[in-house]
Amino acid sequence: MDEIDLARIRRSYELAELREETISRNPIEQLQQWLHEAHNAGVLEPNAMCVSTALGGQPSARIVLLRGLDERGLVFFTSYFSRKGQEIEANPRAAVLFYWPLLERQVRIEGRVDQLPEDESDAYFAGRPRGHQIGAWASEQSEPVENREILDQRMRDYSERFEGEEVPRPHSWGGYMIRPARVEFWQGRPNRMHDRLEFTRDGNVWSVRRLQP
């Protein structure tokens, strides 16, 4: 296998620019616009986001899918007993990163995390593919397992258990809402002189400022 010269991998970002006079004054609306543009550009899973949590000073990060976005914040779903669920329980704050290299863009978000109301989690779960519903029962997310065969057997067991009936949402599984307090939009520019516009929130009022690259 040929060695990759990591120090020399680089490209010039020249697709677009980001200006104060054209960006939405509401960062949720701006994020919705960028998600729409990423989808239309053919980005693979444009709603994929890296969610970082921290416990005892040790951060951890993983990719999850954004499943809802409104003025309240960003929604994703997982097991409450997963590592991220436990870290959110102990420290209900998170950082989020969207990265769309095809558009030379990224968005950074920081804020508080709350559990989604049960009726909203129920509604989302009811619309999931049946296999995904059964998987939520079969997997004790983030817990060790001896081998893959155990997981496959658990899927078969729960498929038989719920055969011929609707699969209910496990009480250990549901949604989280990330309520943004800080949002930064990043647009790549030539010579690493990137555009960075940062929104911060005071109550219901957002202010924006430009950051140096």
Q: How far is CA 151 from CA 17, 105, 138, 140, 155, in A?
A: 48, 38, 7, 10, 6
* pTM higher than the cut 0.85: yes
Read off the pLDDT of residues 117-171 as tens digits, 9 standing for 90 and up.
Answer: 999 999 999 999 999 999 999 999 888 889 999 999 999 999 999 999 999 999 9
Residue 23: pLDDT over 90: yes
Residue 1: pLDDT over 90: no
3 state SS of 84: helix
* Nearest CA-CA partner of 189 in 19, 4, 2: 19
Say which CATH class 12-126+169-211 falls into. mainly beta
Q: How many CA atoms lie within 13 A of 139 on its CB side?
A: 14
Residue 185: pLDDT over 90: yes
How remote is the C-alpha of 169 from its chain's centroid?
21
Average pLDDT over residues 164-188: 97
Q: Are 71 and 28 in contact (CB under 8 A)?
A: yes
Distance (Å, whole) CA 98 – CA 82: 22
The strand pairing partners of 55, in sequence order, are: 58
Q: Which residue pairs from 205-208 have beta carbons closer than 8 angstroms and sit at least 24 positions apart in sequence?
A: 206/25, 206/26, 206/27, 208/20, 208/23, 208/25
- pLDDT of the residue at 150: 94
Q: For the chain, first and last CA: distance in Å?
A: 35
Distance (Å, whole) CA 140 – CA 69: 27
So which residues are the catalytic ones? 192
Q: Angle 29-67-54 (CA atoms, 0-180°, nearest 5)?
A: 95
